[in-house]
Structure formats: structure tokens, C-alpha cells
Chain A
Amino acid sequence: MTKLTSTRVLPNLVLCLCLGLLTPSAFAQGELRFCLRSEPKTFDPLQVEDDASVAIRYLTGGTLVRMNRQSQVLEPELAQSWKVSKDGKQITFKLRSGISFSDGTPFSAEDVAYTVQRLMDPSLHSPTGDAFRSGPGKVDTKILSASQISITFPAPVAGLDRQFDQVALISQHSPKKEMAVLGPFMVADYKPGATVLLKRNPNYWKTDEQGRKLPYLDSIRLDIQPNRDIEMLRFKRNEIDLINSLDSEYFDKLASGSPQLVHDAGASLDSEQMWFNQVAKAPLPGYKKAWFRSTAFRRAISDAINRDDLARVVFRGHAQPALGPFSPANRFWFDAKLKPPVYSPDASLKALQREGFHLDNGTLKDAGGNVVVFSIITNSGNKYRERMATMIQEDLQKIGIQVNVVTLDFPSLLERMTQTFDYEAILLGLSNVGLDPNEEMNVWLSSSENHQWNPQEKTPETAWEAEIDRLMRLQSASSDPKKRKEAFDRVQEIVVEQAPFIFLVNRNALSASSSSVHGLSPVILAPQTYWNAERLSVGVIEAQSRP
């Protein structure tokens, strides 16, 4: 692969050097190839919801601000500067001038206004737009000049400026509509089920420190390949250049032969967790509902799970036992006061006995003599979750609890989880893209549909849920980062105390890249490997820098 790229680009370079005409475009560097795990559902950046479309939006979309995935600091992009009002309702951007979309259409404040209005159109039902919707009412956009715009929301939006990291701007006037982009690459070709080809955006505005035009790469080829084994096979054969999210067993296999190809960036934001069904109307026997709604029962189960073993065996050591709702990788929002979970089946059994449970011939029974048995469902095809569930099955067997592991296809699982509530416990993962707790409002508010253990409570059914509601609203309404942090720290502590979610592990961000890819600096935040895609190159720069 390296060879192919070199033979294509090198003659151009030699010619340019001979002529002394080293133009910025001569640094265009080859093609980067990697896999998308699913078909992108849309190229419209405002309607993006699936991972594949998010990846394409990241590579093609131009944003006003961008969070640096390495430093976790918000940096200016198409906005030179910005200011958030004290009440957290208004943001004013000062835009860069002289910038054009990929098709040559000039970029102005009108496009920002158009993008925001379309994004906030209630009929669009955009997840990106919904993140800004903190209260009823219309969003007001005011163009102050060709390069200045202020946007006013009807209610305060916590972390308002950070939310714009996800908003890729579209053109109001371009005939190509959303296919005209401001990001480093643009969609050049799409073969459904096979590939998406991105070409460098000739009008991209950024240059590097030496004044060379970015991006370095000519193109990015994204092959649609859901099968991880085949992705690995193609990587080994140099048919793709990187694997953005690598399985831990493949990590070790690659590392044993070529350690320079793999990267472990440490614990990511993603967590694996299980929870019990606490829905009052769930079609479960009353005694089971009583177990699941008991804090002592949930805490006892949590204490009886050996998280160190889950991290060590299932993820081959490439995961960390989870401490709470947020991973320590979220540097600002993680509550450092949380203590690591302690595996203690004896303490767990004692706690259960205090609640009236007792062991009878090695089988745990409740005060009413009911055998403690429940099922854990997880989505099929995810071998890590299947293995975790099987290990939890054995852990709980030690305190006399019988667990049945059931794998279901995702739509069936979703129906049980969100509509029929016909389940006892679920083991799933949560992918955190954003750092701000405000992005999880719909998980923690008891009235929300995504309050998984007991959705859409008319009023909070427990005192601790009422307290979480209060704290989440408090942090959301405040623009003082310190106050917000205090409130969310308390939320994290309540969640650990009450264990509505039993957090299991935080997976490490593992990736692999071919030695011909340069400029890589894998991080824990998505997209782990190509977050700096505009500065990546394949093959030639390295070759040139060598004597």
C-alpha cells in the first residue's frame, strides 16, 4: 500500500523540487483507508444520529468551534471568537472572513443563521438540535454584520458553546445544499453497501504552521464493513490503514508481533453497565419488583460482581473497573471523591441477609421463601457483553443467586426495554461522545423516556430520584462551572449509593494504525484516531524527512 502511494505522489514531488515550485498543493499526501462499521444513514449533517454518519460529519463538516480531542479544550474554528451571555441564553460569534464552501459558495453569517434555524426546526427531530432545546419557545438569530451573529435561546443552555462542536454548518445559497461543506474533506462518491470516498476540500481554509494548505491527504476511503474479523484481516493485509476501535483480543495479538502498530489511549468515556427493571407496571411478580426496587439488593449485587476480573479476563486488561456514571477520562466532570468498587461476596451476602434473604442448601431465598433467580438480557453479537454476563452469572452463583443469560437481537431487546418492560435485568453499554453532563439530562431526569430503570415517572417515585432531578436542573440552569460541578458531583455520589445503574467497566480506547500513517496521536475521545484527520498523511512526508 505504501509503495502504491509513493509511486503516485513521489514523481510530482521530484518534479516540483526540480522546478523550485514547491506549492502547498504538492504536499497532498495519498489516501487514508479505514472501515465504517455500518452504512451511513444520511449525509445531511443536521440529521445525523448513527455512528457512521457522525464519522462523515466529523470529516466533512465545518464547525464554528471544535473541542480539541486531546486537550479537551474548546478551540476556535470558523468562529474567530465567541461570547456567551451571563444568563447562558445567548451566544455571539465573530466569524472568519474570506472562506468558501467546497463548491465555491462564499460563507457568511447568513449560513450560520440558516443552519441554526433549520437545526432548531421542531419537525426535523434532530438529536443535535434537541440538545439545544432546554425550554419552550423559538430560537432567535440576529445577523449583526457579515461576520458577526448572535443566537438567543428561549432558556439557558448549559455548556452552550461546547454544543456547537456538533453543529456542521450548511450553505443557504449553494445549489449542492448539504453536500457543500466547510470541513477538510467532501463526499466525492458513495457506493451503498461498499464505500464512501471523501476527497480533500480544495477550498478548505486552514493551513499548517509552515503555511501549507490542509488537509495533507488527497482522499479518505471508508469501506463499509460491519464484521470486525474481516476488518482485522484487511488491516493485516495492508488493505486498510487504521482501525479506530480495536477489539482487545486483537490488540494483544497485534501487540505481540508488532507493538508499534497498536495504541492503548487508556480508559475511554464509554461504560458498560447493568440495571434492574424498576418499572411499577412491568409484568413481573410482586416479590421480584420488591427485590429490584430495594437499594440494599442492588448494592449487594453490585458488591458481588468482580469488576477486576471483568476488566482483566473479558477485556484482557484493556478496561478499568467503573467507579460511577462518568469515567475518570472525563477530566473535569469526574467526581474524584468516588471510591473504587470493592468486590466482596461475603459482605454482599451479609447485606442480603440483613434484608431477610437467606441461604437454603446453597440457594438464596427471600423472606417469602422465593428462590432468587433472574435473567440478564444483552444484545446478541456483542461477545464482550455475553462474556461479562456469563461471568456475572458465576459471580452471583457464589452467593446462591441463579442468573439466566439471554441474548436477544437489538430490536427485540429495545422493545422489552422501552415498550413492554418485560425484562428483569439488562446489560448494555453507554457511548459517551460529549463531556458535559447536560448531554445526559434525558438519562437522569425521572420524567424522561431514557431514564432506563424506570422511564417517564409522573413524579419522582423515590426521594433520591427527586434529588437527582433537582441537582440536574440546578446544574443545567447555572452558567457557573463550579456550581455545576458541585451539583453533578452529588449526582454521581447518589447514583453510586443507590445503584440504579450498576456500572461495570470503562473500556480503554484501543486502536491500530499502519506504520505508513503519519501524524497520528490517538486519544480517548471519539473519533480516537482521526480526530486530527486534516494533519494526517500516508507514506510520503516521513520518507521525505528521512536523509
Chain B
Amino acid sequence: MLGRKIARHGVAIIGTALLGGLLSATMVRLAPGFDTDEAQIDSHLNSESLRALRESRSQQNNILVFYLQSLKRASQGDLGSSLTLHQPVSKLLRERAPLTLRLIGVALLLSWGAAMTLALSAAFLRLYSYDALATVISGILLCLPAAVVGLLSVLWNTPAALAVAALVFPRDFRYARNLLGRAYSLPHIITARAKGLHELRILFWHVIPVAGPQLLALAGVSVSLAIGAAIPIEALCGLAGVGQLAWQAALARDLPLLVNITVLVTLVTLLANTAADLIGSMVGSQPA
């Protein structure tokens, strides 16, 4: 039963990721400036070179043909070549993925650790001043532009993962605080606490089953939030990860690179969200 469910999800994930690739390719192709190159305004280039420059881009004009050809090549293990960096996309992704995965992994651990600690203690203590303090801290972080967080990270020599975590934390905290606050306000949990039931037992037996599925959904969403935060941080801090690559590819309209990165990001997002859904449905099906 579980095997079939996982297999069905697997097929859906691959289908959605491929659709994501096609949609992103279409968006890039339709956006203005797709077939331009900065070299076009190099006054040294003569008209033949300029024509050749334009033709090199126009090969990707028919987006469906381009995508189908890319898929065919990808099935043979060839992800194409970056238009701007002149290197195979598979090599670029292979070299840079570990750094980004590590960065996102550590950032998620930090942001979730901080968000859950603060949210749990706020919901548990129900002290207004403590809650206000946590709200102010998360509010400050929420109001800081990503570029400023990145600069602060360089200024204070802190790990980039901390910067990504600082961007993800306030969003996680706000949702988690509200969800846990609501769970702790439920009548049966108030009764249990009044009767002196052990806090850990209340947490694991009553709070988690109520707020668990939503928190897991939030955890799934955090992955895409962290990916989104990693892009400006990697670009600012000069970290050679997939985020920096995505930034460069977007600025240069590097279609092969962008499509592959989108498929990769979609896959990671879907995997995280599907895992959260599956675990959430198991948690949710347990009796509260």
C-alpha cells in the first residue's frame, strides 16, 4: 500500500518537474531580452559577427523543439551546455550542488531549531513580554533586505548558512508560533495541563498530533524558502553554489542552465513537500 503510494507520488514528482522545466523555459523565452547579448554593443564587432551572435541565440527560438531536444539529450545523460559559462551544465551542477545542499541543510536546521524553540517556549510559557520579545526579534529579521543580511554576514564573518537561516527563521517562527499557540489553547490541552499532566507527554501526545501535519507542511515549504534565500546570499557572498549559478543564469538569460536549475529546484521542492505530506498523513491519522 505504502509502496504504491510512494510510486504514485514518484511519477507525479517527475511529471511535475518536467512540466516545471517546460514552463520555466517558456517564461525565459517570452521574457524580453532573451536573444540579446551584451557583446552586441561591442563597437569592435562587425555586422557578420553580430549576425552570428544573434543566430546562436535564435536556435532556441522554438521553445517546444528546444525542450524536447533537451529532454532527449538529458535521457542520454547530457544536460546541455551553459551559454555564458561555456561548460557542461551537468558539470556545473555537480560541482556546485554540494555547497548549496550543505548551506540549505544547515540553514534549515538552524532556522527550524530557533523557530521551534522560540515558538514552543512562547506557546508553553504564555508570557506576553516573552512573546513580544520573540515577535520583535523575528520582526527585525523579517524587515531586513536580503542584501543587507548578506552584507552583515560578510561584515561579521559569520557563516553564510546563518544568513540564510536569518531569512527563513522569521517566516517559520510566525507560522509555528500561531499554530502552536492555537494547539496549546485547545480545551483538552488546557484541561490536561490543569490536571498536572507532564509537559512532555502533553507535547508529544496532544500538541504534536494536532499541529503536526501543519508544522510538517511548513517544514516542506521551508525548503523552497531556503532555496529562495540562498540565491541572493550565495550571489552576494561570492559562494560558488547553485544559487549563484541561478542568479548568473537569470541575468544572462542562459536558457539551458536555467531550465536545468528549475527542474532541480522543482524536484527538491516536490520531494520535500511530498515527504512532509506523507509523514503528515501518518501523524494525522494517529489518534489525538
Contact = CB atoms under 8 A, between A and B. Distances in A.
B117 interface: no
A226 B240 CA distance: 13
Contacts of B33: 409-415
Interface in A219-252: 223-227, 229-230, 233-234
Contacts of B141: none
Interface stretch (B6-14, B79-87, B172-180): B79-87
A419 interface: yes
Given A128-B44, A225-B238, 15 more contacts: A42-B86, A126-B49, A127-B42, A127-B45, A130-B49, A194-B238, A226-B235, A230-B238, A233-B151, A233-B154, A414-B33, A414-B41, A440-B43, A449-B47, A450-B45
Contacts of A481: none
A73 B86 CA distance: 36
Interface string A180-193: 00000000000111
Contact of B43 (A122, A412, A417, A439): A439
Given A193-B244, A194-B238, A411-B253, A130 B45 contact: yes
A118 B87 CA distance: 22
Given A410-B38, A415-B32, A192 B85 contact: yes
Contacts, number: 119
A410 B34 CA distance: 11
B128 to A, nearest CB: 39
A194 B244 CA distance: 10
Contacts of A123: 52
Interface string A49-84: 110000000000000000000000000000000000
A535 interface: no
A50 B245 CA distance: 18
Nearest to B33: A411
A5 B202 CA distance: 61
B240 A192 contact: yes
B92 interface: yes
A442 B32 contact: no
B36 A415 contact: yes
Given A229-B151, A412-B32, A125 B236 contact: no
A133 interface: yes
A418 interface: yes
The 9 closest A-B pairs by CB, nearest first: A411-B33, A193-B240, A127-B44, A125-B49, A414-B36, A412-B33, A194-B240, A415-B33, A442-B43
Interface residues of A, number: 47
A493 B235 CA distance: 45
B36 A130 contact: no
Q: Chain B: interface secondary structure?
A: helix
B7 to A, nearest CB: 38
B148 to A, nearest CB: 10
A123 B38 CA distance: 19
Interface string B219-254: 000000000000000011111110011001001110
A42 B39 CA distance: 13
A191 B240 contact: yes
A450 B41 contact: yes
A50 B239 CA distance: 21
A230 B244 CA distance: 15
B73 to A, nearest CB: 22
B155 interface: yes
B70 interface: no
B46 interface: yes
B96 A193 contact: yes
A41 interface: yes
A411 B37 CA distance: 7
A39 interface: yes
B78 interface: no
Nearest to A442: B43
B46 A130 contact: yes
A192 B92 contact: yes
A417 B32 CA distance: 12
A26 interface: no
B50 interface: yes
A233 B154 CA distance: 8
A41 B42 contact: no
A230 B237 contact: yes
Contacts of A122: 48
B121 interface: no
A2 interface: no
B71 interface: no
Contacts of A414: 33, 36-38, 40-41
27 contacts: A42-B86, A125-B45, A125-B49, A125-B53, A130-B44, A192-B87, A192-B92, A192-B96, A193-B239, A193-B240, A226-B235, A227-B236, A230-B150, A230-B154, A230-B236, A233-B151, A411-B36, A412-B33, A415-B32, A415-B33, A415-B34, A418-B41, A419-B36, A442-B43, A443-B43, A449-B40, A452-B41
